[in-house]
């Protein structure tokens, strides 16, 4: 969540929604009586002198006093419903009901003196130093180009090497030229739109080959490679290995998620008696002050947004009693947590040990 403007005396803030967990937090924080403002459109009906009624959709800014709120887990959006208490156009719609729908990427304004400190904290924390990472991972079977950002891990392109090429690596002229020409072209496009951190990954031999091929085609791209990481296998499997080992660091959320989940998996094997799974069991452990760290997938959170047990857990995290981490959906890390019921809790004994 990005804080765009604030008026502390009024209890007002303008916020940009940057990820799905921002929506989760807003749904929890905004209470009945708070006022939510948004640039929107509304159909306005006008009656002519002849008695005919015309309607048109006009753009305007509306503020509603929240009475109800709801969530759409499938589309990852939230809704606030209430009576209109502010409009920047004279359309005779005050006190009429209106629904404001909020999705990722939207900008909204909130007026709530009671909740403002929490909103400010959410708006000011968590700006990652690295917003995007591009990993080139290769061996004698596969070359992969993978993008990692705050939203997850996306395989942009993979190139398979056929049996003849496999015997002598990338030294088959025709295939080598095609593969690396395509790789360099994609890297040019990626670095022209933003400034990602470039990471090269593979066995020592293949990392050298890839680096030399990139350098021979574009010295600028070669100079942008900030790290080389040695793995036992390249391609997409090399990315998975790096995530399990945590060697990519945790500058971006998907990487930090992977590291945290791998630690949790190790803890489950060593101390199964101090791990709690499922919403009721996790809530009970937190209530008894045994829980220290809760991991839950974003999908699980969205599906249980209106569950009082989840709200109880998140409230404890909000007050700093426990630590809570939402694991990005559609990742290997989220698959592991989903296999355990979507939410797990590690007791203090494990973390302290």
- Per-residue model confidence as pLDDT tens digits over 207-240: 999 999 999 999 999 999 999 999 999 999 999 9
pLDDT band at 128 (very low <50, low <70, confident <90, very high): very low
Q: How far is CA 205 from CA 27, 70, 142, 213, 234, in A?
A: 51, 55, 14, 13, 11
Flag the least confident range among 19-33, 68-82, 126-140.
126-140
Residue 126 pLDDT: 46
pLDDT band at 353 (very low <50, low <70, confident <90, very high): low
Helices (H), 218-289: 219-224, 235-245, 253-270, 279-287
- Per-residue model confidence as pLDDT tens digits over 23-48: 999 999 999 999 999 998 777 777 67
R_g (Cα) of the chain, nearest Å: 25
User: Which architecture, in CATH terms, is 2-124?
Assistant: Roll (2.30)
- pLDDT > 70 fraction of the chain, expressed in percent and rounded: 93
pLDDT band at 173 (very low <50, low <70, confident <90, very high): low
pLDDT band at 125 (very low <50, low <70, confident <90, very high): low
Q: What is the mean pLDDT of the chain?
A: 89
pTM passes above 0.75: yes
pLDDT(165) > 50? no
3-state secondary structure of 146: strand
Instruction: CATH number for 132-245: choose from 3.30.360.10, 3.40.50.20, 3.30.420.60, 3.40.47.10.
Output: 3.30.420.60
Q: How far is CA 314 from CA 19, 24, 99, 187, 274, in A?
A: 17, 10, 26, 40, 20
Supply the DSSP symbol for 318: H
For the chain, the domains span 2-124, 132-245, 265-352
**CATH code of the domain occupying 265-352:** 3.30.1330.30
Residue 163 pLDDT: 44
Residue 349 pLDDT: 78
Report phi then psi at 344, rounded to 5: -135, 160
Residue 161 pLDDT: 67
Q: Which residue has the higher pLDDT, 319 or 163?
A: 319
């Amino acid at each position: 969540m990005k804080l765009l403007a604030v008026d502390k005396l009024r209890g007002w803030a303008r916020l940009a929604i940057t990820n799905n967990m921002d929506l989760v937090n807003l749904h929890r924080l905004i209470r009945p009586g708070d006022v939510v403002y948004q640039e929107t459109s509304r159909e306005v009906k006008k009656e002519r002198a002849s008695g005919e009624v015309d309607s048109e959709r006009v753009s305007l800014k509306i503020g509603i006093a929240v009475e109800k709120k709801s969530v759409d887990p499938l589309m990852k959006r939230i809704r606030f419903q209430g009576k209109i208490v502010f409009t920047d156009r004279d359309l005779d719609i005050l006190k009429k009901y209106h629904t404001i729908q909020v999705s990722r990427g939207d900008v909204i304004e909130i007026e709530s003196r009671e909740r403002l400190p929490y909103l400010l904290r959410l708006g000011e924390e968590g700006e990652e130093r690295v917003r995007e990472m591009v990993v080139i991972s290769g061996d004698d079977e596969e070359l992969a180009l993978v993008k990692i950002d705050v939203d997850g891990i996306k395989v942009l392109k993979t190139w398979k090497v056929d049996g003849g090429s496999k015997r002598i690596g990338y030294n088959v002229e025709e295939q080598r030229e095609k593969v690396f020409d395509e790789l360099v072209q994609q890297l040019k496009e990626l670095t022209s739109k933003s400034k990602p951190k470039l990471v090269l990954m593979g066995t020592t031999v293949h990392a050298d080959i890839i680096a030399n091929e990139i350098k021979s085609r574009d010295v600028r791209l070669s100079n942008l490679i900030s790290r080389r990481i040695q793995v036992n296998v390249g391609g997409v499997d090399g990315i998975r290995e790096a995530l399990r080992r945590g060697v990519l660091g945790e500058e971006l959320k998907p990487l930090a998620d992977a590291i945290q989940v791998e630690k949790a998996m190790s803890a489950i094997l060593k101390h199964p008696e101090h791990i709690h799974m499922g919403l009721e069991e996790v809530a009970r452990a937190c209530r008894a002050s045994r829980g220290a760290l809760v991991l839950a997938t974003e999908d699980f959170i969205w599906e249980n947004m209106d569950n009082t047990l989840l709200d109880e857990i998140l409230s404890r995290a909000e007050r700093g009693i426990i630590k809570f981490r939402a694991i990005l959906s559609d990742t290997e890390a989220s698959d592991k947590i989903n296999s355990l019921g979507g939410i797990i809790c590690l007791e203090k004994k494990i973390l302290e040990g």
